[in-house]
Amino acid sequence: MEKLLRGAAVVGQSGGPTAAINASLAGVIKGAIENKEAISVLYGMRNGIEGFLAERLCNLSEMFSTVGGDPDLEKLDLLSATPASALGSCRKKLPKTDDRDFYENLISLFRKYDIRYFFYIGGNDSMDTVAKLSKYIEGSDYEMRVVGVPKTIDNDLDGTDHTPGFGSAAKYIATVSQEIVTDCSVYTTKAVTIVEFMGRDAGWLTAASALPRLTSGLAPDYVYLPETDFSMELFFEDIEEAWKKHPNIVIAVSEGLRFADGHYVGEGTQSGATDVFGHRYLEGTGKALEIAVKEKFGCKVRSIEINLPQRCASHIRSATDISESLSCGRAAVRCAVEGQSGKMIAMLREAGEEYRILYVSKDVSDIANAVRSVPRDFINGRGNNVTDECLEYILPLIQGEIDTVYEKGMPKYLKI
Interaction site with its own copies (CB under 8 A): 13, 17, 47, 50, 82-85, 88-91, 171, 174-176, 178-180, 182-188, 193, 211-212, 214-216, 218, 304-309, 311-316, 318, 395, 398-401, 404, 406-413, 415
Nearer to its own copies, 7 or 309 (CB): 309
CB of 284 to its own copies, least distance (A): 10
* N-term to C-term CA, the chain: 35
Nearer to its own copies, 132 or 287 (CB): 287
Nearer to its own copies, 3 or 245 (CB): 245
Nearer to its own copies, 66 or 185 (CB): 185
**227: nearest Cα among 393, 371, 16:** 371
CB of 41 to its own copies, least distance (A): 24
Rounded to the nearest 10 degrees, the angle between the axes of helix 73-80 and helix 21-34 is 160
**361: nearest Cα among 378, 350, 348:** 348
* Displacement of CA 286 from its chain's centroid (Å): 22
Nearer to its own copies, 183 or 229 (CB): 183
CB of 392 to its own copies, least distance (A): 11
Is residue 139 within 8 A of residue 33, CB to CB? The reply is: no
Q: Which residues are catalytic?
A: 154
Tally the C-alpha atoms within 13 A of residue 215's C-alpha that lie toward its C-beta. Answer: 9
CB of 164 to its own copies, least distance (A): 16
CB of 323 to its own copies, least distance (A): 14
Nearer to its own copies, 101 or 403 (CB): 403
SS (H, E, C) 124-154: HHHHHHHHHHHHHHHCCCCCCEEEEEECCCC
CB of 84 to its own copies, least distance (A): 5
Burial call 207-245: b when 16+ CB within 10 Å, e when fewer? bbbbbbbeeeebbbbbbbbbbbebbeeebeebbeebbee
Is residue 170 within 8 A of residue 188, CB to CB? The reply is: no
The type of residue at 162 is: H
DSSP string, 339-381: T--SEEEEEEEPSSSS--EEEEEEEGGGTTT---PPPGGGB-T
Cα torsion angle, 179, 183, 184, 188, sign: positive
Nearer to its own copies, 18 or 61 (CB): 18
247: left (phi over 0), alpha (psi -120 to 50) or beta: alpha
Q: Are strands 191-197 and 222-224 parallel, antiparallel or unpaired?
A: unpaired
CB of 312 to its own copies, least distance (A): 4
